[in-house]
Amino acid sequence: MIGRCVRLSRRNIDALLTSLLLPVLLMLLFVYLFGGAIQTGTEYVTYVVPGVLLLCAGFGAAGTAVSVTTDMTNGMIERLRTMDVGATSIIGGHVLASVARNAVSTVLVLGVAVAIGFRPAVEPLRWLAAGGVLLLFLLGVSWLSAAFGLLARTPEAASGYTFLVIFLPYPSSAFVPVETMPSWLRGFAEHQPVTPVIESLRALLLGTPVGAAPLRATLWFLALLAVGMLLSAAFFRHRTT
């Protein structure tokens, strides 16, 4: 199932290029058009890269929802259900293929970021920890997006359902410090799932103290994963019986 979903991604050139290149273009947009006007206490490219990595996750999640809905509406699920293929294998294939696509996009973003001035810490353990935090978040968001894909009746609706996942990095610490936001927005920005992930990545990649951010990010991952898997199971049963 994973191999099938990866092959489908390779054949959908337009969607693949969008998921790979759009985060890079957004990073260049923020760094070169807005970066000079935003004060973060450091080079803006250094500040913004962790947030762009979370944008990658959002775009990849949208692709997961669309691919799941496409399978549900074109008869593929019915064909698979005539064989000994369980729901976990079918949906898990989409989820893990999404994580693989996001990994490629993440490497591309990091490569471009280094080329334009991003200088991360070099300790291997910090890189491994940052990769683990990002991987867990990708897994949780992808399962939740798979549930959205099972809920939607058309691929267009599935893309719309994932708007919240794509939007979450903006009202967070991804692009500006939370302290600069209005008080009514600051509370939301500090207590939503994206902010602790970004703060964890920022601290691990730049070699600064991590504090409690990784623990909070892990708790959010567990919550997203549990909700995504439970909803996926319920929606799959409802759509296939």
pLDDT tens for each residue of 203-216: 998 888 888 898 99
Pair 144, 68: CB distance under 8 Å:
no
Residue 197 has pLDDT above 90, yes or no: yes
Helix 213-240 to helix 124-151 angle (10° resolution) is: 30
Query: Which pLDDT score is estimated for 188?
Result: 92
Query: Which pLDDT score is estimated for 199?
Result: 92
Pair 134, 106: CB distance under 8 Å:
yes
Which whole number is the average pLDDT over 80-100?
A: 81
pLDDT band at 196 (very low <50, low <70, confident <90, very high): very high
Q: Which of 68, 69, 74, 73 is nearest to 90 (CA)?
A: 68
Residue 61 has pLDDT above 90, yes or no: no
Greater model confidence, 40 or 191: 191
Query: Which pLDDT score is estimated for 163?
Result: 81
DSSP string, 77-108: HHHHHTTT--HHHHHHHHHHHHHHHHHHHHHH
Q: How far is residue 122's CA from residue 17's CA, in Å, rounded to a whole number?
A: 30
Query: Which pLDDT score is estimated for 13?
Result: 74
pLDDT band at 54 (very low <50, low <70, confident <90, very high): confident
Which whole number is the average pLDDT over 114-138?
A: 87
Q: What is the mean pLDDT of the chain?
A: 85
CB proximity list for 222: less than 8 A, separation 6 or greater: 140
Handedness of CA 172, 135, 70, 25 (dihedral sign): positive
CB proximity list for 119: less than 8 A, separation 6 or greater: 46
Q: How far is residue 45's CA from residue 119's CA, in Å, rounded to a whole number?
A: 9
pLDDT in tens, 140-175: 888 999 999 888 888 888 888 888 788 888 899 888
CB proximity list for 67: less than 8 A, separation 6 or greater: 5, 8, 9, 94, 97, 149
pLDDT band at 200 (very low <50, low <70, confident <90, very high): very high
pLDDT band at 195 (very low <50, low <70, confident <90, very high): very high
Rounded CA Rg of the chain: 18
Which whole number is the average pLDDT over 72-98?
A: 81
Which whole number is the average pLDDT over 122-134?
A: 88
